[in-house]
Amino acid sequence: MATVYFDAATRRYAGVHAAPAVDAITLDIEDGEFLVLVGPSGCGKSTTLRMLAGLEPVDDGRILVDGHDQAGVRPRDRDIAMVFQSYALYPNMTTAQNMAFALDNSRTPKAQIRERVAEAAKILELEDLLDRKPGQMSGGQRQRVAMGRAIVRQPKVFCMDEPLSNLDAKLRVSTRSQIAGLQRRLGITTVYVTHDQVEAMTMGHRVAVLRDGRLQQVDAPEVLYDKPVNTFVAAFIGSPAITLVESAVSDGRADLHGLAVPVDRTLAAAATDRVVVGFRPESWRIVPESDDGALQLTVELVEALGSESFVYARRPGTDGSGAERERVTIKTEKRAHVEVGDVIRVRPVESEAHLFDAGTGERLVG
Amino acid sequence: MSARAHGAEAISHRSPLKTVAGYTGMVLVLLVIAVPLFWIVITSLKERQDIYVRPAQWFPQPATTANYSDVTTRIPFLDYMRNSIVITGVLSMSKIVLGVLSAYALSLLRFPGRGIVFLVVIAALMVPNQITVISNYALVAQLGWRNTFQGIIIPLAGVAFGTFLMRNQFLNLPTEIIEAARLDGAGPLKLLWRVVLPMSWPTLVAFSLITVVNEWNEYLWPFLMSDDERTAPLPVGLTLLQNNDGVTNWGPVMAGTVLAMLPVLVLFLVLQRQMIKGLTAGAVKS
């Protein structure tokens, strides 16, 4: 168990003009914490993880594990275990041999190896598969072996690089909670990379959002959702995405597709020029036909998920040309009976507005 | 593998004409390879006067094994056989070990000048053997190594081909597995022995087989280095047999050739199964 500290860690790939793949990331991970690195593909999250594991050099800055600078420390000496997206099991070894390999290499006594492998196999329900080779196992089983290989080492840090993305949807959900539970039980500091924001929100103690190699925000999942620091985080976290509308502010009101929404004057004053107003899907209410002042929208698409539905709608008269920006996403109960082509009236819950500077994209705080 | 599988599927859907054409082609290729082999075998079983008969006799009448006893008594056949085994064994082992180690260094270890070293190795591959023979001969003769095993073996132990072949194989291995092994604390040799080589088995077997066959058949250099049965391998020994008579008696020569082929043939049959086993295992595993 250990703390991990990224101190302005930077990674540049060849090509001087290109922006760094990982750009001066500073991140303090506590002992026993489950931290999720999330971001769109190419944002540098995997590279960050690989730098911690020692598979990529750190070009600038430092990475400390338990207060020790890892510069020049070989991957094998870092005591960090990694679970790869492809699992990277040794195809020539059985499950038991795969799990025992690291312990073999560290000259752990045979009896202890057997004990630890048996324990990990029990935790991961791999007892019947100990003599199988990876080629004879399903994806889910291989994934568990990969986890087992990391667990038996009892390392300082777990690094997990999208370990669930090769599983089917249902297995992914069950394995998700399994991994989170396992991490809590073992209490080993874990850095987990994913592009799936649902995984990020459900698994981590804290979530770090990356974009273009830069750290955007590190916070608990709820904070990330309720107080995103900029429009990128606001749009990335939450599914379906938040509705963001750019508008000028006049007379303390922002114009939301023609609906005047009051905004905090001090907040609006902090903006350089225009603001971006955002409402999450659950911050919209469908109001009766009689409410003349409400926003009138034509329903374009309804996603019925069973217990709830998401309604995608836009103002009448605007065709598809306005694309996503014109669209409003509304969460409704299943009793709402909204259908494609319906004209509905909606109002946002004004107190739940997110307000950003249109120029910088930063959240406006008073 | 997949290309072959597709081919098989295509054949089953072809018109009869194309099938016939396909089989005709296969039979032709088979004949080109098999007829000379067949001729060697039957000639080795013929009596001397039957060898030159026209039209050619396709089956020896009467068949005789005299040529075989001839070849083992007229020349020190077992000495040549021993020399062949020594030379092929030592040379193959050193070529395989050097090839694997150098390929490993050039593909998976990082050190400055790696690219240049690889280019030099490739350049060495392009120099024809016949050119280096002269300077090598001068050097080895000066060292007094003629008619010694080291004189035959050491100049032949360079391995550009093996380095090239195995390096490409190692580079094709999934990098994540190599990284996983590094994180699991495997040192360079352990990584090679426990992870890299087991995954490269089919290529290694193919490389070994090619090496053994090549060394077994090596002619020019051992011929230049050896005067007699002290160090000369079988191919050279068979030539001596040919020259002893003035007029070549092909019967014993062919018998010697058959005997010389046998060990490699056996080895090939054994390793071939290994090779195919490895290939199919890889195909199923994705």
Per the CB < 8 Å rule, is A84 touching B198? no
Task: Tell me what pLDDT residue A273 has.
Answer: 77
Domain(s) labelled CATH 1.10.3720.10 in chain B stretch across 75-244
pLDDT of the residue at A100: 95
- Interchain contact, B182 vs A75, CB within 8 Å: yes
The full 3-state SS of chain B, as one line of letters, equals: CHHHHHHHHHHHCCCHHHHHHHHHHHHHHHHHHHHHHHHHHHHHCCCHHHHCCCCCCCCCCCCCCHHHHHHHHHCCHHHHHHHHHHHHHHHHHHHHHHHHHHHHHHHHCCCCCHHHHHHHHHHHHHCCHHHHHHHHHHHHHHCCCCCCHHHHHHHHCCCHHHHHHHHHHHHCCCHHHHHHHHHCCCCHHHHHHHHHHHHCHHHHHHHHHHHHHHHHHCCHHHHHHCCCCCCCCHHHHHHHHHHHCCCCCHHHHHHHHHHHHHHHHHHHHHHHHHHHHHHHHHHHCC
Q: Do B179 and A75 touch (CB under 8 A)?
A: yes
Q: Which of A79-83, B43-47, B277-281 has the lowest mean pLDDT?
A: B277-281
User: Which band of pLDDT confidence, cut at 50, 70 and 90, is reported for residue A1?
Assistant: low
Q: Judge: A75–B183 Cβ closer than 8 Å, yes or no.
A: yes
Q: Where in chain A is the domain with CATH 3.40.50.300?
A: 4-236
**pLDDT at position A325:** 55
Mean pLDDT, chain B, whole residue set: 85
Cβ distance of A105 and B184 shorter than 8 Å: yes
pLDDT at A264: 81
Query: What gap in Å lies between CA B38 and CA B60, rounded to an integer?
Result: 12
Can you tell me the mean pLDDT for A317-332? 70
Q: Shortest CB distance from B177 goes to which of A54, A85, A90?
A: A90
Q: What is the per-residue pLDDT for B5?
A: 46
User: Where in chain A is CATH 2.40.50.140?
Assistant: 243-357
User: What residue in B sits closest to A77 (Cα-Cα)?
Assistant: B185
Q: Do A75 and B177 touch (CB under 8 A)?
A: no
pLDDT exceeds cutoff 60 at B4: no
Please, what is the angle between helix B66-74 and helix B234-244, to 10°?
100
**pLDDT at B12 (0 to 100):** 56
Judged by average pLDDT, the poorest of A41-45, A290-294, B216-220, B270-274 is: B270-274
Instruction: Give the lowest-confidence range in A271-275, B39-43, B79-83.
Output: A271-275
| A93 chain-B contacts, CB cut-off 8 A | 194
Which of A14-18, A304-308, A336-340, B170-174 ranks highest by mean pLDDT? Answer: B170-174
| Average pLDDT of the residues in B235-256 | 77
Whether residue B180 and residue A90 make contact (CB cut-off 8 A), yes or no, is: yes
pLDDT tops 50 at residue B282: no
Average pLDDT, chain A: 90
| A335 compared with B147, residue with greater pLDDT | B147
Facing residue for B176 by CB, picked from A75, A76, A86: A86
The per-residue pLDDT for A221 is: 95
Is the CB of B177 less than 8 angstroms away from the CB of A102? no
* Mean predicted confidence (pLDDT) in B176-192: 93
What is the per-residue pLDDT across B219-242, written as a single tens digit (0 to 9) for each? 999 999 988 888 889 988 888 776
pLDDT for B277: 62
Candidates B184, B191, B201: best to mutate against A (most CBs of A within 10 A) is B184
Mean pLDDT is lowest, of A105-109, A179-183, A260-264, B101-105, for A260-264
Contacts of B179 in chain A (CB under 8 A): 53, 55, 75, 82, 84, 88
User: Which two three-digit tokens encode residue A184?
Assistant: 């809590």
Nearest CA-CA distance, residue A116 and chain B, Å? 15
Query: Which tens digit of pLDDT belongs to each residue from B36-68?
Result: 999 999 989 988 778 777 777 788 778 888 888
Is A172:A145 a contact under the CB 8 Å cutoff? Answer: no
> Distances in Å between the alpha carbon of B39 and those of A48, B43, B46, B158, B254?
67, 6, 11, 35, 9
Q: With bands split at pLDDT 50, 70 and 90, how would you rate the model's confidence at B2?
A: very low
Q: How many Cα atoms within 13 Å fall on the side-chain side of residue A148?
A: 31
Q: Which amino acid is at A291?
A: D
Q: What is the pTM of this model?
A: 0.82
pLDDT at position B278: 54
Residue A137, pLDDT above cutoff 60: yes
CATH class held by domain A243-357? mainly beta
User: Is residue A25 predicted with pLDDT exceeding 80?
Assistant: yes
* Residues A155 and A79 sit within 8 Å (Cβ to Cβ): yes
For domain A4-236, the CATH superfamily is P-loop containing nucleotide triphosphate hydrolases (3.40.50.300)
Residue A116 has pLDDT above 50, yes or no: yes
**Residues of B whose CB is below 8 A from A85:** 176
| The pLDDT value given to residue A257 | 82
Dist CA B107 CA B223 (whole Å): 36
How buried is residue B135: exposed, middle or buried, by Cβ count under 10 Å (0-12/13-18/19+)?
exposed
CATH number of B75-244: 1.10.3720.10
Nearest to A58 by CA among A24, A11, A23, A20: A11
* Res A72 pLDDT > 80: yes
Residues in chain B within 8 Å Cβ distance of A90: 177, 180-181, 194-195, 198-199
* Chain B residues touching A55 at Cβ < 8 A: 179, 182-183
ipTM for this model: 0.85
- Give percent of chain B with pLDDT exceeding 70: 89
Residues on chain A touching B180 (C-beta within 8 angstroms): 82, 84, 88-90, 149
Mutate to test the interface with A, among B183, B191, B197 (most CBs of A within 10 A): B183
Read off the pLDDT band of B285 (50, 70, 90).
very low
Instruction: Give me the mean pLDDT over the B201-225 stretch.
Output: 89
Which pLDDT score is estimated for B83? 93
Average pLDDT over residues A275-296: 90
